A and B are shown apart, each in its own frame.
Chain A
Amino acid sequence: MPSDDGFIEFQGVTKRFADHRGAAIDVVEPLTLSIARGEFVVFVGPSGCGKTTVMRMVGGLETPSEGAIMLQGREITGPSREKGMVFQAYSSFPWLTVLGNVRFGLRYRRDLTAVEKDRIARHYLDLVKLTPFADFYVNRISGGMRQRVAIARTLAADPLVLLMDEPFGALDALTRERLQLQLLELQKTERKTVIFVTHDVDEAVLLADRVIVFSARPARVLRDLRVGALLPAERSLDLQESATFRQLRQEVLALIRDEEERTEAAELAAAS
């Protein structure tokens, strides 16, 4: 049973899609889950398992087929500024400058004056260390910087929950590491509730307070690992060398591998 003080509550949430013949495909099995305020939750699982769908339902970009998702006790019915989203690709607008993109996060706030919006935008630009690039168009900056622009823009909008859909998935390994550390750094001051989807197990264990491992489609929670209780609060890349980290990583990897082998066997059986 979900606890009463859950910040985000999944209450028996399912999702079915129709395939090209109109037959129903179960993507998410009844899911009941509770996420606390300020928690950094990472969803991992075999590819195509429905973890992104679960996150998109929190964002209001998909509607549950059954059940409901509550945010601070109110049911999520559609997208809004309360649920900020960072995508892997096309995350920032090419027709706007770096500062323009961050300021876009505040565009639909009626409670702020133009001066305040400018100040907040510059603050978040500074937080992701992009102030020198304020007037650059985003096509002029690297992929890693573009993702930082997207993060700054989403934070500037001051969402209750930050949803990140493989935000570092398209970056090279070194840039990805740098951004992971910067995100941890940001999280120290911002203390946002984050749902982060990735297929990179190292990334999951490094960033998370809590790793949720999903099964192959239809998605079901295989393991709910509170890594925050096992790892030090101060995270660094050296942590990856520690025994605890490696053990956690092995545990998650083994679960995902089993799932992937199981689905492949099932697909083979279905094909023959």
Chain B
Amino acid sequence: MRPVEAAIRDRAATATKPGAHDGGGGTVASAPTPRQEKAWRGLFRFRTPVRPDIELWVGIGAFAIVLGAWLLATESQLVQPQFLPSPLAVVEAWWGLFQNDYLSDIGISVGRVWIAFAASAVIAIPLGMLMSSYRAVGAFSEPLIDFVRYLPVPALVPLTLIWLGIGEGSKIALLWIGTFFQLVLLIADDARRVPKEFIETGRTLGAGDWALMKDVLFRAMLPSMVDSLRVTLGWCWTYLLIAEIVASNSGIGYELWTARRYGKTPEVFAGILTIGIIGLASDQLIRAGHRRAFRYLA
């Protein structure tokens, strides 16, 4: 913001000195001309910050380019619509899906993600904090969690089906497994990164263990914890698709897989885009909330 304001002010200053040229002669010519620079130039300079609205337009431009290339490819009939339907066909398919109660599918999928995610967060937050606070908890659970973390989630699908059947339970269990073990380690790391001075200050002001965790550790790690939650929420969506494709008769993943079975490529695209949009929207929402809630960091 600053350089632009300065540039505008400089420009205004020169404009309000109309008499300068016919007056004093040589001295005026040697006065340094204010550097007026286009604000977007910074985009191409090494590690230079740029105005946020310029960045936003660049981001929108990226979407426009992809959409343009897509339109070009389909409208010129370079690609068969069976492989790549035109954007218009996708919008049409979308409309059709919504006519056919797509909203309840979205609702079901979002619900599954949030229930599973809430269930893993509710356990991962206190456990992660305890893991970083007491070596007994950390030494006991870290190797175990690390082991499970490296198991590929799809490999667990047969087990969840055997144990929990094809109902909601198995889907939520799969999502929970996919997120919990990652999240708990991230939370433990967030807690570990809290400066020891904060903890020691709390101690010397008379806080006990519980008070330290509640009033100091939790408060100090909260901003980075919310970031960890945001990242894992994204992973949760990945596993949702696996769960809904394998055994389900509702949800975004189910609709997507059904469309594939009947060769309805536009509907497949509509499904993929739906997930992308929900992901982008929830991510931006959490970011905005983060900025508001942790204004004290700015």
Q: Does A146 contact B (CB under 8 A)?
A: no
What's the minimum C-beta distance from B204 to chain A, rounded to whole angstroms?
4
Determine whether the beta carbon of B211 is less than 8 Å from that of A108. yes
Q: Does A249 contact B (CB under 8 A)?
A: no
Determine whether the beta carbon of B203 is less than 8 Å from that of A139. no
What's the minimum C-beta distance from A195 to chain B, rounded to whole angstroms?
13
Per a CB cutoff under 8 Å, which of A84, A90, A139 touches B204? A84
A85 to B200, CA, bound (A): 8
Contact with A along B202-225 (1 / 0, CB 8 A): 011111100100011001101000
Interface residues on B, range: 20 to 34
Which of chain A's residues has its CB closest to B295's CB? A137
A180 to B215, CA, bound (A): 31
Determine whether the beta carbon of B219 is less than 8 Å from that of A83. no
Determine whether the beta carbon of A90 is less than 8 Å from that of B195. yes
Q: Does A46 contact B (CB under 8 A)?
A: no
A108 to B294, CA, bound (A): 25
Determine whether the beta carbon of A79 is less than 8 Å from that of B219. no
Which of A90, A91, A154 gathers most chain B CB within 10 Å? A90
Determine whether the beta carbon of A93 is less than 8 Å from that of B204. no
Question: A residues near B, CB below 8 A?
Answer: 59-61, 79-81, 83-85, 87, 89-91, 93-95, 104-105, 107-109, 137-139, 150, 153-154, 157, 159, 163
Question: B residues near A, CB below 8 A?
Answer: 195, 197-198, 200-201, 203-208, 211, 215-216, 219-220, 222, 294-298
Known contacts A104-B205, A138-B296; 11 further A-B pairs (Cβ under 8 A): A80-B204, A81-B204, A83-B204, A84-B204, A84-B205, A89-B195, A108-B208, A108-B211, A137-B296, A157-B206, A163-B204
Q: Give me 14 A-to-B residue pairs in the complex whose CB atoms sit less than 8 angstroms apart, sorted by A's number.
A: A59-B200, A59-B204, A61-B203, A61-B204, A80-B206, A85-B204, A87-B200, A90-B198, A94-B297, A95-B222, A107-B211, A108-B207, A150-B201, A153-B205
